[in-house]
Amino acid sequence: MPAFDPNAKKMLISGNEAISLSMRHCNVQFAAGYPGTPSTEILEDYSELGGYAQWAPNEKVAAEVALGAAFGHARSVVTMKMVGLNVASDVLYTATYTGVDGAMVWIVADDPGQGSSQNEQDTRNHAKASVCPMFEPSNSQEAYDFFRIAVQTSEKFKIPVILRMTTRVDHSKSIVVPKEELPAMVPNFERNIAGHVMVPGFSKPAGRRLRAKMDEMEAWNVAEGPNRVEMRSEDFGIIVSGISYHHVREAAPEASILKLGMTYPLPMQLIKDFAKKFEGKRLMVIEENDPWLAENIKAAGIQCESKFDPIFRFGELDVNRVRRIIAGDRNPDPVPVKGKPPMLCPGCPHRSSFAMLKELDCIVSGDIGCYTLAALPPISAMDYMIDMGAAIGMGIGLRNVLPREQAKKVVSVIGDSTFVHSGITGLVEAGYNRPDTGHVVVILDNSITAMTGQQEHPGTGRHLDHSPAYKLDYGAIAKTAGFDNVYEVNQVKEPEKFKELVKEALEKDELTLIVAKSPCILALKSILAWDKANKEKAEKALAESEAAAKKNGNF
């Protein structure tokens, strides 16, 4: 059950919960995604509210299945964190050309301040580069409302739309008053080869159509977009979007505000009109992350002040920082007292894995997940980490150039969810461009996507809602890719065996996959409960079909 009453007239919910509810009320037919903080809960909540959602192996696949659904005249959603959009951007940059037949909303969650991310990229750059309309909510009510507007805009203009969230909006709770349901769409195939097949002959005119559509959308945004002017002071105006709106209201209650809800294509006429009111007076743009609004507004010939980027483009904004931006304070941020960093849980299987890799003095080409914490003291046993799946490719690159005695120490270490996400092509690379010294890949199979809060993936044998699914066989993939050896070992129960396997593998000039299989301690109770429920359900179904067969005399 969801953590809130979906039937209440007024509720206190997070931005993510608000989106999941809005998805239900907009009668979304299909939702896919790949977990990633702070976006993960949206699909989980949506599923608990009775919506249909699935985890894909990665964001690119998630976007493709959602796009297919939108081609079939459905309303679809794809969710991801901002780095996921790098993986899925290939889909987006051409899906804007084709547009959609139903509706498609890309919910992309940025993480200013890097609470849980490997970089601090700003999705607004992708929106502009891919020519994809974008909305930026600033609280839960707007998350609810803007999702609906995103759906309606997508339908009206037949184009995918980005709902750009940020951690603070995803995870903060505020009050939401829901609206009535939108009538559902009726999925249907309609042939339109020139509109859907992006060979150059069809895609060149599509690119031009897209730009023309943007002009139309900008005019719509100026006239009807979810933007608002709040006039107070006649001497001081501020242009904002997203969460910055609330920080600004608190830091400068006297200031007039142009609050932008749809930030691509920007409603330039609205901005010009607002700017005009403050000619010769003070006009500022206040925004988190990149100086994106400021650059675009200045490029349109509008003069305004913006934040001092050497300091304020990094990290989240808050009321104090906004006060400092307004005051023109260029001093470095005060250094907060350091809290206690997160650590691997006591009894975590990753502890055993890295203790052994450390004892063997391996060069560890690592990856992203709970296990990345092994890069920090006191373990300090991971040497590289860039993006999901990179462990294998980077390991092969190192093996190719390092002197033999160093090359033979290189191990690629990757979590199970991360392996499925984008490690498989790495194995194919290893088999195809096999380094002279061979290679050793360790999959840390804790049977869950632990880092983001225990999500299923194609290797767990369960779907998003924990119902049974086909379970991927990592060893079989490695064999097919050309690996010589495949081993599975419980590194917690048999640490010495794990160590011996890695040691032997390092000595050979062969390709070896070692699956270190031991469940996430934090997830173990849930995993056992899900498996038990699935087994009981299967047994019950079997008993029922046997009884039916008996009754029909088919035995």
Partner 1 sequence: MSVVNVKFAGLGGTGVIKASDVMAELVFEQGYDVKKAEVHGMSQRGGSIASDVRFAKGEEVQSPMIPTGEADYLVVFDETQVVVNEAFLKQGGVLLTPADIDVSKLENVKALNVAMLGKLSKHFDFTVDQWTVALNKLFAEKFHEGNKKAFMLGREG
Ligand X SMILES: Cc1ncc(C[n+]2csc(CCOP(=O)(O)OP(=O)(O)O)c2C)c(N)n1
439 forms beta bridges with 511
Ranges within 364-383 binding ligand SF4 (CB under 6 A): 370
Binding site for ligand X (CB under 6 A): 34-36, 59, 81, 83-84, 87, 118, 368-371, 388, 415-418, 446, 448-452, 520
Q: Which is nearer to partner 1, 240 or 413 (CB)?
A: 240
Task: Let me know the angle formed at the C-alpha of 311 by 309 and 316, rounded to the nearest 5 degrees.
Answer: 95
Burial label for 20, CB within 10 Å (0-12, 13-18, 19+), is: buried
Q: Considering the complex, what minimum distance in angstroms separates the CB of residue 423 from ligand X? A: 9
Q: Considering the complex, what minimum distance in angstroms separates the CB of residue 297 from ligand X? A: 31
Q: Return the closest-CA partner of residue 40 out of 109, 119, 90.
A: 109
Q: Considering the complex, what minimum distance in angstroms separates the CB of residue 386 from partner 1? A: 19
C-alpha dist (Å) from residue 487 to 185, 270, 360, 479, 514: 49, 63, 18, 11, 5
Q: Considering the complex, what minimum distance in angstroms separates the CB of residue 501 from ligand SF4? A: 21
Q: Which of partner 1, ligand X, ligand SF4, none does residue 415 bind (CB under 5 to 8 Å by kind)?
A: ligand X
Count of other CB atoms within 10 angstroms of residue 517: 19
Q: Which of partner 1, ligand X, ligand SF4, none does residue 84 bind (CB under 5 to 8 Å by kind)?
A: ligand X
Helix, strand, coil percent content, the chain, rounded in steps of 5 = 45, 15, 40
Among 413, 414, 450, 511, contact with ligand SF4 (rule: CB under 6 A): 450
User: Does residue 46 contact residue 53 with C-beta atoms inside 8 Å?
Assistant: yes
Q: Considering the complex, what minimum distance in angstroms separates the CB of residue 336 from ligand X? A: 25
Helix ranges (DSSP H) in 26-136: 41-48, 59-71, 82-98, 123-130
Ranges within 265-294 binding ligand SF4 (CB under 6 A): none
Ranges within 443-462 binding partner 1 (CB under 8 A): 450-454
Q: Considering the complex, what minimum distance in angstroms separates the CB of residue 45 from ligand X? A: 17
Ranges within 168-227 binding partner 1 (CB under 8 A): 168, 171-175
47 binds partner 1 (CB under 8 A): no
**DSSP-derived pairing of the beta strands 262-264 and 134-135:** antiparallel
Ranges within 523-552 binding ligand SF4 (CB under 6 A): 523
412 forms beta bridges with 365, 441
Q: Which is nearer to partner 1, 175 or 543 (CB)?
A: 175
522 binds ligand SF4 (CB under 6 A): yes
Both ends of the chain: CA-CA distance in Å?
Answer: 41
Q: How far is CA 88 from the centre of its chain?
A: 10
- DSSP E strands in 255-392: the ranges are 256-260, 262-264, 282-286, 305-306, 363-365
Q: Which of ligand X, partner 1, ligand SF4, none does residue 366 bind (CB under 5 to 8 Å by kind)?
A: none
Instruction: Report the alpha-carbon distance of residue 364 to residue 399 in Å, rounded.
Output: 11
446 binds ligand SF4 (CB under 6 A): yes
Instruction: Report the alpha-carbon distance of residue 526 to residue 528 in Å, rounded.
Output: 5
Q: Which of ligand SF4, ligand X, partner 1, none does residue 143 bind (CB under 5 to 8 Å by kind)?
A: none
Q: What are phi and psi of 79, to 5 degrees?
A: -120, 150
Q: What are phi and psi of 250, to 5 degrees?
A: -80, -40
Ranges within 354-393 binding partner 1 (CB under 8 A): 370, 373
C-alpha dist (Å) from residue 216 to 81, 127, 209, 267, 472: 29, 17, 11, 11, 46
Ranges within 481-510 binding ligand SF4 (CB under 6 A): none
139 binds partner 1 (CB under 8 A): yes
C-alpha dist (Å) from residue 488 to 78, 98, 155, 352, 365: 34, 45, 49, 15, 20
Among 90, 115, 228, 539, contact with partner 1 (rule: CB under 8 A): 115
9 binds partner 1 (CB under 8 A): no
User: Does residue 145 contact residue 20 with C-beta atoms inside 8 Å?
Assistant: no
256 binds partner 1 (CB under 8 A): no
Among 42, 258, 520, 527, contact with ligand SF4 (rule: CB under 6 A): 520
Give the binding-site size for partner 1 (rule: CB under 8 A).
42
Q: 332-361 mask for partner 1 (x: CB under 8 A)?
A: --x-xxxxxxxxxxx-x-------------
Which amino acid type is present at position 476?
A
Q: Which is nearer to partner 1, 175 or 300 (CB)?
A: 175
Q: Return the closest-CA partner of residue 316 out of 285, 284, 286, 295.
A: 286
Q: Considering the complex, what minimum distance in angstroms separates the CB of residue 96 from ligand X? A: 20
Q: Which of ligand X, partner 1, ligand SF4, none does residue 336 bind (CB under 5 to 8 Å by kind)?
A: partner 1
Burial label for 104, CB within 10 Å (0-12, 13-18, 19+), is: buried
Q: Considering the complex, what minimum distance in angstroms separates the CB of residue 150 from ligand X? A: 22
Q: What are phi and psi of 76, to 5 degrees?
A: -125, 160
345 binds ligand SF4 (CB under 6 A): yes
Q: Considering the complex, what minimum distance in angstroms separates the CB of residue 6 from partner 1? A: 15
Q: Which is nearer to ligand X, 83 or 266 (CB)?
A: 83
247 binds partner 1 (CB under 8 A): yes
Ranges within 507-526 binding partner 1 (CB under 8 A): 522
Count of other CB atoms within 10 angstroms of residue 533: 13
Q: 312-331 mask for partner 1 (x: CB under 8 A)?
A: ------xxx-----------
Binding site for partner 1 (CB under 8 A): 12, 37-38, 115-116, 139, 167-168, 171-175, 243, 246-247, 249-250, 318-320, 334, 336-346, 348, 370, 373, 450-454, 522
Binding site for ligand SF4 (CB under 6 A): 344-345, 348, 350, 370, 446, 450, 520-523
